[in-house]
Amino acid sequence: MRDAPFDLDRPADIASAATRAWHATYSSRFPAFLKCGHPSPERSLEKAGTPFPPESPTLGLSHLRFEAVLTAARLSGNVNDFALVAMLGLLGLRIFEACGANIGDLGEEHGHRVLRVRGKGGKVVLTPLPPAVQRAIERAVAGRPEGPILRTVRGTRMDRHAATRRLKRLAVDADVRLPRMHPHMLRHTFVTTMLDAGVDVRDVQIAARHADPRTTMRYDRARKNLDRHPNYILAAYVASGT
């Protein structure tokens, strides 16, 4: 069954109107789904008339803005900042996954440095660490043998609230002016930046651990990107006649 259009990094009491409407529609049509007798739950829901999830209400950062925040984090005097931004924006972790990561979750697999990530539903996956992310995490760990990777200035495990405060501070330092800044924006940026880089949607879906590719595309549609509009491809293809 497709992922519900719900931002897991937002409190339930501020769920968007679109989210509430989707859930209401799904609930009202669930009996029709049961009567469809189709082997595929998703296709049964489509047959029952359930609409697709709406576009993601969260927008990611542009490539340049993300680079600015990443640079501000790398230059920050707080060693956790670089690791936080790298884990969210370069690994695509959810905030609870990043904050829940421990030093003992770091390891090697087939020659790759990896992080053992505990995701939704307790599912554990191995995520490879690019060199930049390795450096960021090593700075945050600072030789400690155990404990959380991300910590607050008091030395306690970082939570989503502390992470949000750090990201807002970094956005100011990077001169990135936004109405709001929260951790899920960097996971969103992870998806849209990979799509901009030409990574196949299926590979992006796997990297983001989305059960349904439509969830991946929902992230992309929200920004109504004109840079990759197919009109440009068509015009270039027939350029000799124009």
Report the CATH number at residue 132: 1.10.443.10
Q: How many domains are there within the chain? A: 1
Answer for the pair 208, 202: CB distance below 8 angstroms, yes or no.
no
Query: Span 84-93, mean pLDDT?
Result: 95
Residue 143 lies in domain: 63-194
List the one residue out of 15, 14, 50, 11 whose CA is nearest residue 30.
50
Cα 97 to the chain's mean position, in Å?
A: 11
C-alpha dist (Å) from residue 51 to 17, 111, 211: 15, 44, 17
208 token code pair: 């983001």
**Does some domain include residue 176?**
yes
Q: 210-219, pLDDT tens digit by residue?
A: 888 888 877 7
pLDDT-derived band at 130 (thresholds 50, 70, 90) equals very high
pLDDT of residue 2: 42
DSSP 94-155: -HHHHHH-BGGGEEEETTEEEEEEE-GGG-EEEEE--HHHHHHHHHHHTT-SSSBSSB-TTS
**Is residue 17 assigned to a domain?**
no
Window from 4-13, 47-56, 173-182 with minimum mean pLDDT: 4-13
Q: Which residues are catalytic?
A: 94, 120, 184, 187, 210, 219
CB 183, CB 158: distance < 8 Å: no
Would 104 be classed as within a structural domain? yes
Quick check: is 42 in a domain? Answer: no
Can you give the pLDDT at residue 172?
Answer: 95
| Distance of alpha carbon 88 from alpha carbon 158, whole angstroms | 13
pLDDT tens per residue across span 225-234: 666 666 777 7
pLDDT single digits (tens) 3-26: 444 343 444 443 445 555 545 544
Residue 242 lies in a domain: no
> Is 52 within the bounds of a domain?
no
**Within-domain flag for 54:** no
Q: pLDDT, tens digit, for every residue of 100-125?
A: 999 999 999 999 999 999 988 888 99
Asked whether residue 162 is domain-assigned, the answer is yes
Query: Which one-letter DSSP state was computed for residue 170?
Result: H
